[in-house]
Structures are given as structure tokens and as C-alpha cells.
Structure 1
Amino acid sequence: MDELLNNLTSTYWWLSVVVVGLIINLVSSYLKPPLDAIGSKTFHAWKARSERANKMYVKKVDALAAAPHTQVLFMLRAQSLRAKSNGWSLTAIFALALYQSSVWLGDQSPLHADQTAPFVSTGWALSLIVALSVIASMRLAYAAADLELLVMDAQIRASTPSNMQ
């Protein structure tokens, strides 16, 4: 506490605080325009990319609205992606069950008795399988959801009168 009071009453401390404050103010005034320019370019690039993606999506919806047979094919593709996603989910569940059984059995587990890969532990390998399976499952599920949304939007577009669009 005494050291804090000594610092607050010290002329050297106050002078160093003022000098550091001035340096920070000068540096920030020189850094602000380039940082603003970088932020502006990033925002405009992001906005342009979003606008391009929206235009492409509208084109896809319009094309799909005019082709009911293609809508059916897209929905079949979405169902196929969902089935693959479920398969990867089951792979993750199986790997988790295998890992848990090896933990419960301990040294009696066949996974511990014969290590075929001496540099990779069974736990790490199963964890990697689970992680990759979950990632694959989520990617496929999101791709299926995107296709389903595209078809639903196309069906809505096809069912609305052209003067209401």
C-alpha cells in the first residue's frame, strides 16, 4: 500500500504516465486510417460475396421451380445424404461404445492385449474416428438440409402467382 502511495505522489510516475499516454495517442492516430481501410475492404468483400450467393440461390430456386422432376431428384439426393449422415452417426456411436467397453474391461480388453500400432494408443485412434465421423455426419446433414430448403423455396415459388413475386 505504501508503494502505491509513493508511486502516486512521485513526479517520475506521473511524467511516465503522461508520456506513455501521448505515445499511445500518436500511434493510434497513425494506425486508425489503415485499420479503417482494412475493415472497410473486408466488409465490402463480405457484402459482395453475400449478394453473389443470394443471386445464385435465387437463380437456382427459379430454375428448380420450373422443373418439378428435378425437385424430386433433389429430394432423393437429400434423402441419400441423410442416410449417409445416419451411417456416420452410427459409426461414431459404435466407436464410442468400443472405447467405453475397453475402459470398462481395462487390461482384459482385446484392444489392450495386442497393440498392432505401438505409436498410437487405442483411445486416441477411437477419438479420431469419433471426431471424423461426427464431422462427416454434420456436413452431410447440413448438405441435405440445404437441398431440402432449396426444394421448399422452389415449391413456394412455383405455387405463387407470377404477379405476387
Structure 2
Amino acid sequence: MTTGDSRRSTAQDDDPSFAEKLGYLFEHSRDENGLPYTGKKIAERANALGYSLSDAYISQLRTGKARTPSFRTVEAIARAFEVSVTYFLANPDEDLERVRQQRDYVEMLATTGTHLSGIDVRAICPDTIDVLIELLKVVKGQAQAQGNTGPLPEEGQNSA
């Protein structure tokens, strides 16, 4: 492990690198004849699609020697393998978890009748969203225990 690798955060450690994702495609994808793809074949396919990509650069990406391909390169490789560009750019499990958190957060805001004006939910850290959801559940539980099943009164309003 290199020094640069030891500085990676835990979240990044769970997310495969570009080289790992590319390696997976080379291991598991087959061409029209059922043969594993080679770097040369992928470069040829990408070039036929109008991109400029060399077998040597693909090799550097596969080994991790080149780490930051341009979006155009990612797009070229994705199209050559006939996969979505998001395969390389996103961690689908992380995206799904974030959507779940945002949905739960918005649902709890609606259920409790609370609002946080001017807050962009997408900008809130996932851990903070979880804490807010739990807090809103407590507020909802207390309101239900007091017999208040409707939205909570806004600040400055009387509840009577």
C-alpha cells in the first residue's frame, strides 16, 4: 500500500477504484464472439465510435498508473463496453441510501408539520439527515402521546 492509499477515507475504501471497475469489465465482458475484451479491442471500438483512445492508455488505467481519466475517456470506455457512464462515476448503493435518507427526511418533515426553510436537503450530510430523521421521530412520538395528531403548531402560535 502506498502513502497515497493510506490517506483515503473509509468511505472511499468501500468504493472500488476506476482501475478495479475497469478490471471487472475486462474480466466479465465478452465480445460478439464470446471472447474476453482486450485493451486493443476496446480502443478500436472507442475509436470507431469517434473517440480517440489508445491501448497504452487503457493499460495505464487498468493498472492504476493513470488515475484521473477525463470524462470523455470514461465515456469512450463505457460506450465501447456498452455500459452506462454511471458505472464508473457512481456508487449505486451509496446513491440509493442517500435517496432513502432524503425521502425519509422529507416524509418526517411532512408528518410532523415542521419545515426548515431555505435548506437544500441535498447539501445535508447523510449522517446529519439520519440524526434529523431520528429527532423528528421523537417529536412525532411526543405529539402523538399528547393527542396532537395534526401538524405541530408553528413557532409563536398557540396550540390551544
Tell me the TM-score normalized by structure 2. 0.23
TM-score (norm 1): 0.22
Higher helix share: 1
Tell me which of the two structures has the higher relative contact order, counting C-alpha pairs closer than 8 angstroms and 6 or more residues apart.
Answer: 1
